């Protein structure tokens, strides 16, 4: 028998063997599926029914890469992610032929171009803005666009390092998130906003209460410029932070002061703050202890709490006001949250910011309380809209995650993030190379600022904070547009937002 004949015989025997193994496996699965009681499809359609689960799992992959159009995906579509990718890589962000955006969708903002925009030599860069005039160490914040809160633990060591280094290079601030201050936040030397969550990680005593001594220790770090008291976040109003046990390693456990092997769940609110008076008391206390500007982050459910707050400030005196308020829209994201809260609770930012800025300015606090917009703001148009609507600053978390290489795998609540951003698995973290990613972070921040300034110049003003509601028109159901200052008029005359 020749070599070729023996090879054919060997292959045939191998095929028969594999076929036999396949049949045996199918028979075993058939018996298992027929007699299991948890899955009706597999019980009624043994073996074949397993493909339904497989295709369901693969559906997300195929929709993202093969079937979804550029502007169809949620929570962020391909066009948005591609813009961030180009901006982060320093590539030109020009496109050809025409817009792929549907400009007839109700609610779409259209910026009003000026008939005679300022010339190139009449532009002005965005100026720094003072926060906390009554603090012993006010903060002159240099950038309108900054990094929102992402805790070490929720995101990985190399991700925090890249954000810190990138923020320093871009001249923006980095919010620590509620997980406390890690060495990696400090690595880049950027400006930091220390967030105090409901569990008070990093500044708590053994009983979980706020520790003044630890507050002073944190405040003594020169790069910590402000403190943010987190009341709520957009993805889960009324629910505390959730860090799954799988993401709590020894270092995270030590920084947060929580045990390993158990989910870290923060209280749904600060136990020591039950009303607006106690909120102002806490803010003033932290500002007195630290000497730094102090504000709070929350989600808007209606105007009544803010009316109560601003009336109380008027009665107490302007020095008792928070130095800033961060408004997180109900569309905000997180690493882990219950679906009912993600989908159903909290006003979208596009209503909330208008509401709060109206009330702030009506009560005369425009120059005292800075407003920070947060929640799904990743592209220049989003940021420009927020500034025109009344915010002084904009922060983004997911935009900077995209700049780090996030592919929207939707695995943030697990320890299996394929890009190394939200995992503590060293084998996955190695894909996130800090030395290159921090440059992408900086490039993205600079590109956002540049293009927001470009929009401002197009509407006829010298820099972004001069934009007003009259510079934006909103698409209506019939396809026409109406100026935003007509849709949302201010009570009385107010030059800040007219």
Listing DSSP states for 249-297 in one string gives: -HHHHHHHT--TTS-EE--SS-TT--SHHHHHHHHHHHHHHH-S-EEEE
Domain shared by 464 and 400, yes or no: yes
228 found inside a domain = yes
Q: Give whichever of 245-249, 367-371, 374-378 has the largest mean pLDDT.
A: 367-371
Task: Indicate the number of domains in the chain.
Answer: 2
CB of 301 within 8 A of CB of 352?
A: no
Domain shared by 49 and 154, yes or no: no
pLDDT bucket at 254, cuts 50 / 70 / 90: confident
Query: CA 352: distance to chain centroid?
Result: 16
Query: Could you write out the DSSP letters of every residue in 146-165?
Result: EEPP--BTTB-HHHHHHHHH
Write down how long the chain is. Answer: 498
How many Cβ atoms sit within 10 Å of the Cβ of residue 123?
Answer: 15
Domain shared by 54 and 137, yes or no: no
53 found inside a domain = yes
As given in the structure block, the two tokens for residue 344 are: 């159903």
223 found inside a domain = yes
Residue 455 sits in a domain whose CATH number is 3.20.20.70
- Mean pLDDT check: name the lowest of 58-67, 326-335, 429-438: 58-67
291 found inside a domain = yes
How many Cβ atoms sit within 10 Å of the Cβ of residue 267?
Answer: 14
Domain boundary among 37, 52, 67: 67
89 found inside a domain = no
84 found inside a domain = no
Rounded to an integer, what distance in angstroms lies between the CA atom of residue 441 and that of residue 174? 11
For residue 24, give its domain range.
3-67
308 found inside a domain = yes
Q: Is 40 exposed, middle or buried (0-12, 13-18, 19+ CB in 10 A)?
A: exposed
Closest Cα partner for 402 from 417, 421, 383?
421
pLDDT digits (tens, 9 = 90+) for 218-251: 999 999 999 999 998 766 676 677 777 777 878 8
Q: What is the b/e burial string over 228-246, where b = at least 16 CB atoms within 10 angstroms of the residue's CB? A: bbbbbbbbbbebbbbbbee
Q: Is 195 helix (H, G, I), strand (E, B) or coil?
A: strand
pLDDT bucket at 433, cuts 50 / 70 / 90: confident
Domain shared by 182 and 330, yes or no: yes
- pTM equals 0.84
Q: Is 483 exposed, middle or buried (0-12, 13-18, 19+ CB in 10 A)?
A: middle
pLDDT digits (tens, 9 = 90+) for 142-164: 999 999 999 888 888 999 999 99
131 bridge partner residues = 139
pLDDT at 496 over 60: no
Domain shared by 179 and 60, yes or no: no
DSSP state, residue 387: H
pLDDT digits (tens, 9 = 90+) for 187-225: 999 999 999 999 999 898 888 889 999 999 999 999 999
As given in the structure block, the two tokens for residue 225 are: 């410029």
- Mean pLDDT check: name the lowest of 63-77, 98-112, 177-191, 335-349: 63-77
pLDDT at 61 over 60: no
Domain shared by 126 and 61, yes or no: no
Domain shared by 168 and 230, yes or no: yes
Domain boundary among 42, 67, 92: 67
pLDDT digits (tens, 9 = 90+) for 40-54: 777 777 888 777 776
Domain boundary among 49, 67, 85: 67
CA distance readout (Å), 150 to 177, 324, 421: 4, 19, 11
As given in the structure block, the two tokens for residue 397 are: 């978390």
pLDDT at 78 over 80: no
As given in the structure block, the two tokens for residue 59 are: 């559906």
Domain shared by 42 and 127, yes or no: no
Return the higher-pLDDT residue of 372 and 102. 372
33 found inside a domain = yes
As given in the structure block, the two tokens for residue 17 are: 């063997």
Backbone angles phi, psi at 239, to 5 degrees: -135, 135
Domain shared by 235 and 373, yes or no: yes
Query: Could you write out the DSSP letters of every residue in 307-370?
Result: HHHHHHHHHH-GGGS-SEEEEEPTT---SS--HHHHHHSS--HHHHHHHHHHHHHHTT-TTTSE
Domain shared by 20 and 147, yes or no: no
Domain shared by 226 and 305, yes or no: yes
Domain shared by 63 and 205, yes or no: no
């Amino acid at each position: 028998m020749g070599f070729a004949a023996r090879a054919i015989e060997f292959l045939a025997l191998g095929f028969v063997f594999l076929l036999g193994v396949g049949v045996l496996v199918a028979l075993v699965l058939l018996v298992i599926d027929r007699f299991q009681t948890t899955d009706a499809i597999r019980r009624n359609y043994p073996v074949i029914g397993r493909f339904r689960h497989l295709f369901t799992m693969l559906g997300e992959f195929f929709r993202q890469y093969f079937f979804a159009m550029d502007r169809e995906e949620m929570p962020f579509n391909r066009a948005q992610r591609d813009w961030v990718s180009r901006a982060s890589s320093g590539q030109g962000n020009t496109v050809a032929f025409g817009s792929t955006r549907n400009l007839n969708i109700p609610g779409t903002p259209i910026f009003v171009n000026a008939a005679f925009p300022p010339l190139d030599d009449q532009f002005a860069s965005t100026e720094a803005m003072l926060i906390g005039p009554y603090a012993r160490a006010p903060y002159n914040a240099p950038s309108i666009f900054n990094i929102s809160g992402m805790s070490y633990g929720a995101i990985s060591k190399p991700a925090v390092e890249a954000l810190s280094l990138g923020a320093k290079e871009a001249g923006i601030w980095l919010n620590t998130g509620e997980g406390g201050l890690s060495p990696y936040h400090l690595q880049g030397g950027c400006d930091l906003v220390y967030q105090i969550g409901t569990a008070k990680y990093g500044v708590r005593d053994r009983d979980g209460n706020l520790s003044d001594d630890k507050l002073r220790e944190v405040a003594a770090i020169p790069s910590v410029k402000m403190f943010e008291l987190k009341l709520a976040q957009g993805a889960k109003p009324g629910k505390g932070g959730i860090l799954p046990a799988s993401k709590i390693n020894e270092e995270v456990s030590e920084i947060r002061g929580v045990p390993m092997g158990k989910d870290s769940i923060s209280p749904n609110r600060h136990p020591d703050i039950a009303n607006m008076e106690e909120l102002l008391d806490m803010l003033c206390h932290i500002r007195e202890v630290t000497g730094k500007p102090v504000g709070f982050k929350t989600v808007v459910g209606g105007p009544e709490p803010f009316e109560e707050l601003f009336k109380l400030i008027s009665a107490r005196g302007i020095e008792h006001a928070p130095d800033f308020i961060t408004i997180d829209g109900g569309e905000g994201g997180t690493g882990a949250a219950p679906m009912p809260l993600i989908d159903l609770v909290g006003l979208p930012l596009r209503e909330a910011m208008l509401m709060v800025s109206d009330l702030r300015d009506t009560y005369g606090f425009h120059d005292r309380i800075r407003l920070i917009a947060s929640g799904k703001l990743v592209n220049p148009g989003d940021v420009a809209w927020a500034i025109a609507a009344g915010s002084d600053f904009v922060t983004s978390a997911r935009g900077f995650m995209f700049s780090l290489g996030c592919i929207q795998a939707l695995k943030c609540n697990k320890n299996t993030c394929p890009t190394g951003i939200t995992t503590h698995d060293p084998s996955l973290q190695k894909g996130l190379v800090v030395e290159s990613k921090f440059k992408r972070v900086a490039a993205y921040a600079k590109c956002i600022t540049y293009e927001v300034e470009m929009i401002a110049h197009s509407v006829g003003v010298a820099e972004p904070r001069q934009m007003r509601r009259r510079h934006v028109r909103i698409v209506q159901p019939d396809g026409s547009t109406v100026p935003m200052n007509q849709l949302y008029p201010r009570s009385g005359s107010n030059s800040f937002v007219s």
